A and B are shown apart, each in its own frame.
Chain A
Amino acid sequence: MPSHRDEESAHLCLGRLVNRFGDDNERVMALIGLMKEADATDDATLEVVLKEYEALLQENPTNIPIVKRRVALLRSIGRIPDAVTALTGLLDFSPTDSEAWSELSDIYFSQGLYSQAIFALEEVLVLQPNAWNNRGAAPHVHQIGIGDQNDSAKQLAEALKRFCRSIELCDDYLRGYYGLKLTTTQLLNDPPKPSKQAESDGLSPPNLSTLQKLDGLATEKLGEITRRFTAGERGWRGFEEAEIVAARELLEKSSSTTVR
């Protein structure tokens, strides 16, 4: 458990915030609730906290920080459907909240509802078109295992497009290149049959030579990033260690399959 001192300093900070902004400030109210959740030891206490959130929302139903806390708490205690209902309620009166759309997509994704997750992510895309880390492509990739053959070509092409956009928005974006490599490998190893419907949507995957070029580019870039990060070069140390390890594993796997 976190030591007693950590909790003490957290309470001290919260006390100062309350003194400064008053306990009727919406953000401070959310922080107070957060503290109660953290201190709760059993489910009964959590229920009490949930009841308090609901009472606060009775007074002011548009208290956004509290609505968000309620969603998080519902999700945390496993009442996912209630969490989704509360979250869609929030999005009804605050549809430009990209954080909430992103959370909704994450909840749907965790439940395997990929098309809903994609819908929510597309909302994020509309709200934050320049965000290079929008994970628009991730559910597309995962949907492959589920969608039928005609659909998977379309999803892969879509995923390819999203990763290319991420890279276009951000030089040396490790996760973008990782996704690109993953998608091109899949498209090259198992080329989906071209379907008329996908072509009419303008979503058919690019031809073979373009795919090979993209694959080569991704391999080269991933190699460069892992090499320069491992060498500890100046200005290349900002990546996450775990992501570098994953990229190296992907590279090794793909090179071993080409040798075979």
Chain B
Amino acid sequence: MTATTASGHPAQGSAADGRSSRGRGADGHPRRPRRAGRPSAVARSRAAPLLFLLPAFAVYAAFALYPLGRAAQFSLFEWRGFGSSTFVGLDNYADLAGDAAFRAAIGNALVLILFYAVIPLVVGLVLAAVLRRGQVRGMGVFRTVIFLPQVIALVVVAVAWRQIYSPVGPLNQLLDAVGLGALARGWLGDPSTALIAVGVIGTWIEMGLVMLLMLSGMSRIPQELFEAARLDGAGPVKEFFAIILPAVRGEITVALVLTIIAALKTFDLVYMTTSGGPGNSTTVPSYEVYFRAFDLREVGSASAVAIVLTVLIFAINVGVTRIGERES
């Protein structure tokens, strides 16, 4: 479902407690007068918190935590989705090491990270810096338009880009018109361009989200800082590296976590545009999970890929956040 973004719930949250520390005491708990044993001013019974919490937790545990555990269990078996299963220990994981499709998926994901995370970061920083300097008419319109791809269903995005990339589509028409007709091709069907073609869609989706994240970081920079830099004769480039970049470190971390995960999880797009092909040239871990479980009927192997993907996502969350904290 999100960004995932657009698709997929936000998958970030390592900085557990909100940044706002309003209403909290030194111990991090709500600053409320202590009344022995009472959960809160209005809740007298000790059971009250659990009664409010339980319904949500029950649904969450049954449909998220429990299945995650089951996936870990499935990954230790060989099973075709029906009939009996065989316990194989960690064999499914060991097999992944030499599995061409899985290795392609990881390799492709690394390339997609360039398009989903690195390029949008550069673009988003530049766009936000340009918008922040103001004196641009229609700032709101630019913001809305560039963010729009985030809210469009990925299935629809796929339909739109398939038409653009089609052998008779607008991209090839454009190339023809400027005399580059020799480059024209079916962009998603050609093994040498398919992955890049999917990557460009990722850049298109993510740049608006990154831009807005950067804008919100930049809005905290006091105006006087820019004016002082101006008086010292700093140009836009110097200003960018001396003032803006250090101020948005936190947002850069968040943007990288979100967009890297989006690159690993780009299921809808791949399913709708290329089905991982041609060959394995555009498959990604999340597509491998689906393809193995429901097309190849290798449920154990699919679960192993799913668990690897989950661990990767946790690691990226923790890792990128750690690096972000150390840098600042």
Q: Do A and B come from one complex?
A: no
- Interface of A toward B, CB cutoff 8 Å: none
